Amino acid sequence: MPPTLVIARLTVQETSRRRLILALIILTLIVVGFSAWGFRKITTVTNSSGSTLPPEQVALITSQLLIVVTFMYSGVLALSAAVVAGPLISSEVESGLLLSILARPVRRSEVVIGKWLGLGVLVAIYAAGSAFLEIAAVDWATGYVPPHPVQLVLYVGAEGLALLSLGLLLSTRLSGITGGVIALVAWLMGWIGGVVGDVGTGLQNQAVENVGVFSHLILPTDLLWRGAIYAMEPDAFLATLRAAGTVGRANPFAAVDPPPVPFLAWVVVWFGLMLALSIWSFRTREI
Amino acid sequence: MTDVIEQVAAAPQGAAAGSPAIQTVNLSKRFGRTSALAGLSMTVPRGEVFGFLGPNGAGKTTSVKLLLGLLKPTSGEAWLLGRPIGDLQTRRRIGYLPELFRYQGWLSAREVLALHCELAPLPRSSWKDEITSALDTVGLTDRAGDRVSTFSKGMQQRLGLAAALLGEPELVFLDEPTSALDPVGRHDVREIIRGLASRGTAVFLNSHLLSEVEQVCDRVAVVDHGRVIASGTMDELLSGTAVKVRVTGLDDAEKARLASFGNIDDEGDQLTFTNLKPDRVPELVAEIVGLGGNVFEVSPRHQTLEDRFLQLLEEEEK
Ligand SMILES: Nc1ncnc2c1ncn2[C@@H]1O[C@H](COP(=O)(O)OP(=O)(O)O)[C@@H](O)[C@H]1O
Ligand SMILES: [Mg+2]
How does pLDDT run across A171-214, given as a tens digit for each residue?
Answer: 999 987 898 899 999 999 999 998 888 888 888 888 888 888 88
Q: How far is CA A94 from CA A107, A175, A287, in A?
A: 19, 8, 8
**Rounded Cα gap, residues B286 and B292, in angstroms:** 10
Mean pLDDT of the region B99-119: 95
pLDDT of residue A51: 81
* Angle, alpha carbons B132-B137-B141 (nearest 5°): 50
Mean pLDDT of the region B130-142: 95
Q: How far is CA A86 from CA A52, A115, A170, A172, A257, in A?
A: 49, 12, 7, 9, 33
Least confident residue range of A108-112, A256-260, B17-21, B187-191: B17-21
Q: pLDDT by residue (tens digit) across B237-276?
A: 777 778 889 998 888 888 888 888 888 888 888 888 888 8
Cis peptide before A2 (omega within 30 of 0): no
Considering only CA atoms, which of B146, B216, B141, B118 is closest in space to residue B174?
A: B216
Mean of the per-residue pLDDT values of chain A: 90
- DSSP assignment of A46-95, as one string? B-TTSSBPPHHHHHHHHHHHHHHHHHHHHHHHHHHHHHHHTTTTHHHHHH
- Find the helix or strand (DSSP H, E) in which A215 lies: helix A206-218
Q: Is the C-beta atom of B98 inside 6 A of ligand 1?
A: no
Q: Which residues of A touch B (CB under 8 A)?
A: 1, 3, 6, 10, 13-14, 17, 95-97, 99-108, 280, 283-284, 286-287
Mean pLDDT of the region B290-306: 84
Residues A158, A245: contact at Cβ < 8 Å?
no
Q: Do B119 and A286 touch (CB under 8 A)?
A: no
Least confident residue range of A104-118, A256-270, B195-209, B229-243: B229-243
Under the banding of pLDDT at 50, 70 and 90, the label for residue B7 is: very low
Considering only CA atoms, which of B47, B49, B46, B83 is closest in space to residue B68?
A: B83
Q: Is the C-beta atom of B61 inside 6 A of ligand 1?
A: yes
Terminal Cα-to-Cα distance of chain B (whole angstroms): 42
Residues B73, B29: contact at Cβ < 8 Å?
yes
The CA distance from B98 to the nearest CA of chain A, in Å, is 7
Pairing of strands B22-31, B34-44: antiparallel
Query: What residue's CA is closest to ligand 1, atom 18?
Result: B61
Query: What residue's CA is closest to ligand 1, atom 7?
Result: B31
Q: Do A105 and B89 touch (CB under 8 A)?
A: yes
Residues A86, A26: contact at Cβ < 8 Å?
no
Is the pLDDT at B4 greater than 60? The verdict is: no
Please give the model's pTM, rounded to 2 decimal places. Answer: 0.87
**In 10 A of CB A70, how many CB atoms?**
23
Q: Is the C-beta atom of B227 inside 6 A of ligand 1?
A: no
* Angle, alpha carbons A44-A46-A47 (nearest 5°): 150
Pairing of strands B294-302, B241-248: antiparallel
Mean pLDDT of the region A224-232: 92
From B3, B94, B102, residue closest to A96, measured CB to CB? B102
B196 alpha carbon to ligand 1 midpoint, in Å?
A: 28
